[in-house]
């Protein structure tokens, strides 16, 4: 069994005895604190790890909208037997210094994967929700076909339905102009929106058409 803790540790336990797995990390645990900007109490785990084949994947949680220099939102995968780091992915790394920016890179907003990840063993995929709720896997009848989809909601009230094999939207998505705020240093000039339905207007009928 694997457990990610609020104080940023990944623990492996023998499911039969409850004892720590001695061969995993150091005495059955791996520290998750070695991320840029880590501070106790600012960086923690709020969801169980995702396990696929021989790797264990963990995200993290932070306090949103409080600072520009919060701990990194890196997603990491560890070997399920040894606890060794297999890969890591930072959804929004700090922006590099360039000739068009200031002397220091500006910090990106948090995109931490604080919610429960979803595993698709058939496709060897892990769906990682960055700053959003848990992705839902389903097989959707659409245009006379059964399409494997991943369904993801977001904080703007939309639900996106994507083909699990290709990543393409099953229902139309368009970029719409949006108002920008003067105080923002940089912001997107458009928002993605599902053009087939109004905001938060999804029903069971929507997902079965």
Q: What is the structure's pLDDT at 24?
A: 97
CA angle 44, 48, 51 (to 5 degrees): 125
Q: What is the structure's pLDDT at 115?
A: 92
Residues of the chain with pLDDT under 70: 64-68, 94-110, 179-209
The model's pTM is 0.78
Q: What is the structure's pLDDT at 127?
A: 96
Tokens (6 digits) for 34? 């070695």
Q: What is the structure's pLDDT at 39?
A: 81
Q: What is the structure's pLDDT at 100?
A: 57
Domain locations along the chain:
1-117, 135-209
Looking at 2.40.128, 1.10.1040, 2.60.40, 1.10.3210, the CATH number of the domain 1-117 comes to: 2.40.128
For every residue of the chain, DSSP letters joined together read -EEE-TTSEEEEB-TTT--B-TTTTBTTEEE---STT--TTTSB--SPPEEETTEEEE--B--TTS-SSPPP--EEEEETTT--EEEEE-SSPPPPP-TTS-SSPPPPPP----S--EEEGGGTEEE--SSS---EEEEEEETTEEEEEEEEE-TTS-EEEEETTT--BSS-EEEEE----TT-SS--SEEEEETTS-TT---TTGGG-
Q: What is the structure's pLDDT at 204?
A: 36
Q: What is the structure's pLDDT at 186?
A: 52
């Amino acid at each position: 069994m694997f457990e990610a803790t609020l104080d940023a540790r990944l623990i492996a336990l023998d499911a039969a005895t409850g004892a720590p797995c001695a061969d995993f990390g150091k005495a059955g645990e791996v520290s998750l604190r070695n991320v840029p900007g880590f501070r106790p109490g600012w960086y923690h785990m709020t969801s169980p790890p995702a396990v696929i084949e021989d790797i264990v994947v963990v995200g993290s949680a932070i306090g949103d909208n409080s600072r520009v220099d919060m701990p990194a939102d890196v997603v990491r995968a560890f070997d399920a037997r040894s606890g060794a780091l297999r890969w890591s992915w930072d959804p929004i790394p700090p922006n590099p210094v360039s000739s068009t920016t200031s002397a220091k890179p500006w910090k990106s907003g948090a995109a931490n994967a604080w919610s429960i990840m979803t595993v698709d063993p058939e496709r060897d995929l892990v769906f990682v929700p960055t700053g959003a709720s848990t992705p839902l896997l389903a097989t959707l009848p659409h245009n006379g076909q059964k399409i494997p989809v991943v369904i993801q909601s977001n904080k703007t009230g939309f639900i996106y339905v994507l083909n699990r094999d290709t990543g393409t939207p099953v229902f139309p998505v368009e970029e719409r102009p949006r108002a920008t705020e003067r105080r923002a240093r940089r912001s997107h000039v458009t928002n993605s929106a599902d053009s087939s339905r109004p905001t938060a207007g999804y029903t069971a009928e929507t997902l079965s058409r």
